[in-house]
Amino acid sequence: MKLLTAALMLPCIAFAALSGWWIMGALRGAGLWPPDEVTLSEAVATRNNAEALRLIRLGADPNQPSRVRAGLLTSDYDVDVRPVEAAVGAQRADALRMLLANGANIDGQEMRVLRCYEQIRRDSGVRELLGDSPDVDCAGIACPWIGTQK
């Protein structure tokens, strides 16, 4: 009977030890796998609003351009864009709204850039946030995900 009890308790003890190890790792910031190494713009481009918000709360500047790896906004090259530009390029009104609520600023020139980007990658939710402006002058605005000027 004691041998049977010990055999039944062994998996429970092992599970409890592994759970304690995992919890201690999570408290130290290291879970079962390492955290993603992404920039704020890349988190927005990958549709990961939770990671983007986490990065902002850790001090990432929502107005600072950062790298987005090839294959996310572009097919074969990295780009450096502001998080709001990544949101428009990824057609993510929800991400744009989250960035604006957490310190992202859009001045007149940036609004012009974003409206031009939205005309290339149309999204009704993004257009609603930016305001519809069919007469925007896009001359000289380089679009990073097509590598040309509109």
Cβ proximity of 149 and 142 under 8 Å = yes
Chain-centre distance of CA 32, in angstroms? 21
Which residues lie below 8 Å from residue 95, measured CB to CB, with a gap of 6+? 44, 47, 49, 52, 83, 86, 87
- CA 62 – CA 131 distance, rounded (Å): 21
**Portion of the chain with pLDDT greater than 70, in percent:** 80
Q: Which band of pLDDT confidence, cut at 50, 70 and 90, is reported for residue 30?
A: low
Q: Chain-wide mean pLDDT for the chain?
A: 83
Structure-token match 């990961």, residue found? 48
Average pLDDT for 14-34:
60
- State the pLDDT at residue 120: 86
User: Around Cβ 68, how many Cβ atoms within 10 Å?
Assistant: 30
User: 80-90: per-residue pLDDT in tens?
Assistant: 999 999 999 99
- State the pLDDT at residue 81: 95
May I ask the CATH architecture of the domain 40-138? Answer: Alpha Horseshoe (1.25)
Hey, where are the domains in the chain? Answer: 40-138
Structure-token match 């780009």, residue found? 79
Secondary structure element (H or E) that encloses residue 119, with its range: helix 108-120
User: 35-51: per-residue pLDDT in tens?
Assistant: 568 999 999 999 999 99
Which residues lie below 8 Å from residue 143, measured CB to CB, with a gap of 6+? 116, 117, 120, 149, 150
What is the reported pTM? 0.73
